[in-house]
Structure 1
């Protein structure tokens, strides 16, 4: 048996001095080969020699690098000289600005203001002449208007096809143009040619508004178009049409032409908002005209009754925001109803889980506040707006003033009230009491300012006999525990008409009491303090304004202001009317600024407030 050392013996490798020269100097090779001692003097001398050789060898590369850097710098300078020689002077930025027309050198925001000033000076300005009127100033202005599509998409063009300017066609042919909204008036061959000329823009339209004497006549020109991005649709009837004539027209159109164009918007997969003017209907053929089931925002201009509201809500299960006009009269025609609508069987009270924002406009005196809540339940309701155009008297079924409010009011967060409550303010107080969870309240009613301030003050108690007695306004509840209506209130907006010098001292007294009771939460066990308060009026006397503002300034740390209120628009415009109101908004803001400058003091303007939720009234 072999030993391990014999089994795995190392092979003999012959010594090669050439391989050692790569790592050791020649003088060290014999010493390392025979494993002899190395002289220290010899080692130091050799090391110094190696260092000197290394330093001398580095001198040449550094010199070469410096030379190359100098050559690169010279080439870069030469390149810049060649570029300057090859580039003409008109291509430089400063030269371009000098060569452009003055209208091209101003920011787009200022350009839009110039377009706004070009509007007609009539009381209700339209956009028929702007920015088209500016295109007639000169050639430079015309080119600027046609090449700035953003200037056009900020404005709504209410096109009268009988006097269609040529520059409008040129603008529509521009590749960068994007329509924000389109309006068409008339229904003849010119409309067909006009729509055909701009048909390439239809796939990019997000908001479409059609306004005509008989708006359904315009639909036939849109049957072959694709509105893949259409998000909102508005149909406006210029001339009043009775429901019978409207229904007859729809049926005759279907009999003559079929349903090829009357249901042009039925398959719009992206349509979410629909604005229908009176007398557009959702019964019979109207049920198939629009994709009701996918709508999330509906503004229905036709007055409907309670049963009609139920049927409409059943068609729109995804609705989150709804605006309805309620009438006691049932204006629905039996001939208009389809087979499904004519079913008179009693059904259980429907529940609409998705509706969060409800705006109700009452047009009859006999309709009570919670009439729509008796027709349907809204467990997810968070914002409620109540408005009526008559002297409101809330009469219950038993003939008594006042009523029990549904449980939806206990979960409201935002409430706005608009209308005439001067005949019976008692229901207004009951409404405020029922909406105990409201955090934002906006009130614009025909009721004296003093009554509203007392109603919102801690400890106030009104008469329980159904009569609004003047002596009750000055009483605190002695027989029952003091109460504070809407204890969670954080934002309050009161819109008043005019405050005279005679009633100012009493108003200041109760205004201070109301604000004190809502800002000292520890004393009255309030869950929330009043953080923002706005007292607004359409017209202010200088003395009245200063005294109220002085009182509000005493509440440091709170956002309390007194200011002006104008019928202005702040929502995203998606209809013809909203575009025009938006222009009035901007023009009125200038009027407020000019008035402030003349009077020497600045009036707070609610329309300039960044918090848009402080006012929840339609058109404001």
Structure 2
């Protein structure tokens, strides 16, 4: 008789499972654990009886399983037939949905407007981001994008020795789509790969190929209004850029590799000729915005490299002394926005660091009142610098936004009256941002807040406990001699109440990690601070706080978040929120700092993609993309 178990495929069963072992006859358990001793004849007869009983008990079950298998096979065949019959109908439904999709009813003009908002801060040629990703959705979108030159006006490009044969076609195709509109072009040359290759692919060879590439795309130079160059030594490429348009508006120069001041000065001819290529940007009459990376500066030959007198926006990353900062400001009388790094370290390494008497007399004759500067960011890198000193040599009556940042403790002025430490322009500030370490002495910070009486927007990210900042910003309260909070009617001997920033309408406070132990004290001082700035009191607050953001440098614990937000929710009608990571300023994506971050991110992604391609993990078939021959850059 045929064993019914042979009529079907027995399913895989976890025979070693403890649940199944519990049903084993007792005689089997020791025999399964050990191969020795050999079972006796009596034991074998017992096992044969157990086997026979198990086979007889399974006859009906296995017959049922076989019957179910036959039914399943029939149902699968029936399902396959029904799917084949329904497939044409499903395809018709999908086609109808595509035709009736709301996105197809969006006018192309509106789609083009959406494209401008979808562009990344630093557009670069990749199928994963707009505008190229949008051009591969459908034919209509592609045609709309190709007919929309505004989507192709800006390009960020990274070039290394492994990709040197691709960028010419990429740049030409990208900028041809921009038609005749003004262009923004930011290009980074990566020399790292060239350093590790053989002699024929040396850095010198790479530089020659790069210059050839620049010559090939020079036909677009007259359209460029915003230009950025990043390389180990950007000065090597200066002579070529004399062909750039004379009406270039902004220039960003980023140094990949740190070089000494001696190397920097060696690029200049001993006989300074203003027609020499090193001074290619001096005659750009419309150059208004300049961002320079270390070691480039305004000293020595740098005075002849750029048209300082016409600049309205300057970002200088090289550390300069306060005296040199004052000299630089006199060279830039039209400056409206500036970012500087100050340190009183001697600048002897700079070319022409010593001034002759004629230069000093001319500097004394220059006006020290800077009428046009409206936005100023100062990074202080020297603990010996008192912040108020920066405003003694040069005054800024038009200053409206000040961003103060320092890496070390800086004494902004403890001695004397507030009016002696802070010049009058602080009274007219509308926006103030403070970053750094004030933990050793919060009094200077308080004096700064008192001086900036007209500030409406304040952002604070400092190494000082949150409670102290909240106390300081509580309007109408003061501290007594023992440090306890008290109001004006208290009998305790107290100082006069400090009415700090009565016009404050927006406050952003960035803190570190808030622990459960710190939370009660923070809530204790947050409530009176918010109440003092949102309700009427005896001090007649002229303007109420409308926006409050409590941000963190790390993720906020859920419990902490709920407890703080529950307090903020009590102030209905106000925009008070907690949570999120620090983001004090939305910086221009073309500044040196933002551009460096973008370059690092894209180059790392390119290296990962190349590694995947070497291991056969290609994610995209270029044969399926008609435009891939133009934009299939290794690493994207």
TM-score category of the 2 structures, normalised to the smaller one: 0.5 to 0.7
8 Å contact from structure 1 (residues 409, 435) kept in 2 = yes
* Match runs of 1:22-61 below 5 Å: none
The equivalent of 1:304 in structure 2 is 320
TM-superposed deviation, 1:244:
2.9
* Match runs of 1:547-586 below 5 Å: 547-567=563-583, 570-575=586-591, 577-579=593-595, 581=597
TM-superposed deviation, 1:504:
1.6
1:158 aligns to what SS in structure 2? strand
Per-residue CA shift, 1:421-456, capped at 9, x if unaligned?
111111111111111111111101011111111111
Pick from 378, 382, 388 the counterpart of residue 400 of structure 2. 382
Q: Are residues 192 and 582 of structure 1, via their aligned partners in 2, closer, same or farther at CA, if it must alter by over 3 Å?
A: closer
1:194 lines up with 2:221 in the alignment: no
The equivalent of 1:246 in structure 2 is 264
Q: Are residues 358 and 585 of structure 1, via their aligned partners in 2, closer, same or farther at CA, if it must alter by over 3 Å?
A: farther
Pick from 541, 555, 560 the counterpart of residue 526 of structure 1. 541
The equivalent of 1:336 in structure 2 is 352
8 Å contact from structure 1 (residues 396, 403) kept in 2 = no
8 Å contact from structure 2 (residues 188, 231) kept in 1 = yes
8 Å contact from structure 2 (residues 152, 174) kept in 1 = no
The equivalent of 2:308 in structure 1 is 292
1:279 aligns to what SS in structure 2? coil
Inter-partner Cα distance in structure 1 for 2:592 and 2:429: 31
Per-residue CA shift, 1:72-119, capped at 9, x if unaligned?
xxxxxxxxxxxxxxxxxxxxxx99x9xx9xxx9x96799899997xxx
Q: Are residues 410 and 577 of structure 1, via their aligned partners in 2, closer, same or farther at CA, if it must alter by over 3 Å?
A: closer
Inter-partner Cα distance in structure 1 for 2:358 and 2:422: 31
Query: What are structure 1's unaligned runs of at least 5 residues?
Result: 1-93, 117-124, 465-470, 587-620
Inter-partner Cα distance in structure 1 for 2:463 and 2:410: 10
Per-residue CA shift, 1:461-484, capped at 9, x if unaligned?
3578xxxxxx41545564444332
Inter-partner Cα distance in structure 2 for 1:272 and 1:432: 33
Pick from 414, 430, 447 the counterpart of residue 464 of structure 2. 447
Inter-partner Cα distance in structure 2 for 1:232 and 1:355: 18
8 Å contact from structure 1 (residues 204, 227) kept in 2 = no
TM-superposed deviation, 1:140:
6.9
1:183 lines up with 2:187 in the alignment: yes
The equivalent of 1:313 in structure 2 is 329
RMSD: 4.1
1:367 lines up with 2:363 in the alignment: no
Inter-partner Cα distance in structure 2 for 1:473 and 1:136: 61
Q: Are residues 579 and 335 of structure 1, via their aligned partners in 2, closer, same or farther at CA, if it must alter by over 3 Å?
A: closer
Per-residue CA shift, 1:223-270, capped at 9, x if unaligned?
234242x21101111111222331233245x56x87421111111121
Q: Are residues 401 and 584 of structure 1, via their aligned partners in 2, closer, same or farther at CA, if it must alter by over 3 Å?
A: farther
For the pair shown, the structure with the greater C-alpha radius of gyration is 1
8 Å contact from structure 1 (residues 567, 585) kept in 2 = no
The equivalent of 1:214 in structure 2 is 233
The equivalent of 2:513 in structure 1 is 498
2:301 aligns to what SS in structure 1? helix
1:322 lines up with 2:332 in the alignment: no
Q: Are residues 579 and 152 of structure 1, via their aligned partners in 2, closer, same or farther at CA, if it must alter by over 3 Å?
A: farther
Q: Are residues 403 and 142 of structure 1, via their aligned partners in 2, closer, same or farther at CA, if it must alter by over 3 Å?
A: farther
Pick from 126, 147, 172 the counterpart of residue 130 of structure 1. 126
8 Å contact from structure 1 (residues 304, 325) kept in 2 = yes
Inter-partner Cα distance in structure 2 for 1:133 and 1:527: 47
Inter-partner Cα distance in structure 2 for 1:508 and 1:391: 28
1:331 aligns to what SS in structure 2? coil
The equivalent of 1:174 in structure 2 is 176
Pick from 371, 375, 379 the counterpart of residue 357 of structure 1. 375
Inter-partner Cα distance in structure 2 for 1:546 and 1:461: 29
The equivalent of 1:460 in structure 2 is 477
The equivalent of 2:250 in structure 1 is 232
Q: Are residues 293 and 475 of structure 1, via their aligned partners in 2, closer, same or farther at CA, if it must alter by over 3 Å?
A: same
2:403 aligns to what SS in structure 1? strand
The equivalent of 2:502 in structure 1 is 487
* Match runs of 1:582-601 below 5 Å: none
Deviates more, 1:441-450 or 1:527-536: 527-536
1:487 aligns to what SS in structure 2? coil
Q: Are residues 576 and 141 of structure 1, via their aligned partners in 2, closer, same or farther at CA, if it must alter by over 3 Å?
A: farther
8 Å contact from structure 1 (residues 202, 227) kept in 2 = no
Q: Are residues 480 and 393 of structure 1, via their aligned partners in 2, closer, same or farther at CA, if it must alter by over 3 Å?
A: closer
Inter-partner Cα distance in structure 2 for 1:341 and 1:276: 28
1:157 lines up with 2:174 in the alignment: no
Pick from 528, 537, 543 the counterpart of residue 513 of structure 1. 528
8 Å contact from structure 1 (residues 132, 167) kept in 2 = no
Provide TM-score, normalisation by structure 2: 0.65
8 Å contact from structure 1 (residues 223, 260) kept in 2 = no
The equivalent of 2:68 in structure 1 is none
Query: What are structure 2's unaligned runs of at least 5 residues?
Result: 1-97, 192-205, 603-636
1:519 aligns to what SS in structure 2? coil
8 Å contact from structure 2 (residues 369, 395) kept in 1 = yes
Q: Are residues 585 and 462 of structure 1, via their aligned partners in 2, closer, same or farther at CA, if it must alter by over 3 Å?
A: farther
1:250 aligns to what SS in structure 2? coil
